[in-house]
Amino acid sequence: MLGGLDFELEIKGYSPGVVDAVLAAVDAAAVFDRVKFTGWNVTLLAEIKRRRPDAHIGHFSKQPEPWMTPAMYEHVVVGMAEFSVADI
């Protein structure tokens, strides 16, 4: 269980139709309150949060690139977190 939630649903894709389909499926299964939506695409995650402010959102962070110093990697992760809609 994920902090009181039962499902982690990784959102993949790049079109607004993905959000429509995911929300429709989750609502049809009546499990919205048990799902944490996660993924790399902050735009789609933000769209889910815009449409459903009560959505639980988690954002994946990248692994550091081989050329990144620890300080550079920290800057990237913290910068993404500042603009993320993630709950955790």
Of the pLDDT bands very low, low, confident and very high (cuts 50, 70, 90), residue 78 is confident
Which pair of tokens denotes residue 73?
């990697």
Cα dihedral sign, 35-32-45-49: negative
pTM for the predicted model, two decimal places: 0.74
What are 38's strand-pairing partners?
10, 58
For residue range 6-60, what is the model confidence (pLDDT) as tens digits? 889 999 888 879 999 999 999 999 999 999 999 888 888 889 999 999 999 887 7
